[in-house]
Structure 1
Amino acid sequence: MSNELTIGRVAKGTGCNVQTIRYYEQIGLLPLPRRSEGNQRLYDDSAVQKLSFIRHARELGFPLQAIRDLISLADRPDKSCEAADAIAREQLEDIGKRLQRLQALRSELERMVEQCKGGRIADCRVIETLGDHSLCETDDHVLPKVRP
C-alpha cells in the first residue's frame, strides 16, 4: 500500500518517539502493524490516527488504562458517551487534586526560602526543613504512601 508509513515517519509526524510507539504496541494500545518484505513496520492512516489520539490523551494526563477504555469506547460510536464523560470527569478531579498538592508544595517552598537567612549551611532553613518534616507548616505536600 502506498499510504503506509514506516515507524520513523509516524514518529516524526505525530511527535511520538519510536520506543513509545513500540511500547504502545507491546501493551496492546496500538495494533501490531503490517510488516514489509524487509520486516519494517508499516502503519496505515487508522493506526496514525489512533496514535495521535493516544498522544493527545497522554498530553492531557490520562493514565494508560483510561486511554485503553477511551479507545474501546471510540471503537463503538453508536454507544452513549456517558462512560467517556465519566473518565474525563475522573481525570479532571485528579488534576484538581494534583493542583492542590502543587500549590501546597509551592507554599512550603516559598516559606522555606523566605525563612532562609542566607548564611552558612549549618544555619540554612531550607536544609533544616528538608531534614525534619515536622518543621513544615502542613502535610499537604507529602507523597502518598505506596502500597506493597
Structure 2
Amino acid sequence: MKIGQLATATDTPVETIRYYERAGLLPAAPRTEGNYRDYADAHVQRLSFIRHCRALDMALDEIRTLLQFQDAPGGDCTGVNALLDAHIGHVAQRIRELRALERQLHALRGQCRDAHPTEDCGILKSLGEEPAPRVHARTRHLQGVH
C-alpha cells in the first residue's frame, strides 16, 4: 500500500508516518519501480502499536524500548513491566501537578466573582501584580521527544 493508504488505515497523518520512519520507530518501506513507498500489513500493525502508545502519552524513547521488547519475542517482559510502572509514576506526578494548577486557577477565579469594568477586574489585577507561581519542571519519562 502507498503512504496515503497507510495513513488512512491507521488514522495517522502522512508527515507523522515519515517522522516515525526518520526517528527509527517505523522501518522504511521498500520502494516500487515508480519510487513510491510500498507498505505492508506489518507496517500497519507497528504503526498502530506506536499510535496506541502515544495515546497513552508515552515518550518516543519509551515506545522505542517497547518495540525492542516486541521485536525479541523470546525475551523476558520484566523490562516492559518496569517501563510501564515508571510511566504510571510519571502520570501520577503530572496528575498531582495538574490538581495544584486547578487549585491555583480556582483561587484566581475567586478574585473576580461578579462582572466589573475590566479596569477593576480582580483576575487581571492579580495576574499583573502577583508574581507568577513557580512552574515545576515536568518529570521526563525517558530522555527523548515526548
1:144 matched to 2:141? The reply is no
Number of aligned positions between the proteins: 137
Aligned-residue offset at 1:134: 4.1
Higher relative contact order (CA 8 A, sep 6+): 2
Aligned to 1:105: 101
1:123 counterpart = 2:114: no
Does the CA contact (< 8 Å) of 2:111 and 2:126 recur in 1?
A: no
TM-score by length of 2: 0.85
Q: Percent identity?
A: 38
1:16-74 Cα shifts (integer Å, max 9, x gaps): 11000000001111111011111111111111111000000000000000000000011
Relative to structure 1, is the Cα distance of residues 133 and 59 closer, same or farther in structure 2, using a 3 angstrom cutoff?
A: farther
RMSD of aligned alpha carbons: 1.8
Which segment drifts farther, 87-96 or 106-115? 106-115
Give the Cα–Cα distance (whole angstroms) in 2 for the partners of residues 8 and 113 of structure 1.
46
Q: Find the partner of 2:66 among 67, 70, 87.
A: 70
* Residue aligned with 2:38, SS: strand
The amino acid across from 1:84 in the alignment is V
Letter in 2 for 1:118: A
What does residue 39 of structure 1 align with? 35
Q: Which has the higher strand share?
A: 1
**1:114 aligned partner:** 110
1:4-43 matches, cutoff 5 A: 5-43=1-39
- Contact conserved, 2:4 with 2:14, CA < 8 A, in 1? yes
Shift in CA distance, 79/133, structure 1 to aligned 2, threshold 3 Å: farther
TM-score with structure 1 setting the length: 0.84
Of 51-60 and 30-39, deviating more is 30-39
AA at the equivalent of 2:77: C
Which deviates further from its counterpart, 57-66 or 34-43? 34-43
Structure 2: where are the runs of 5+ without partners? 139-146
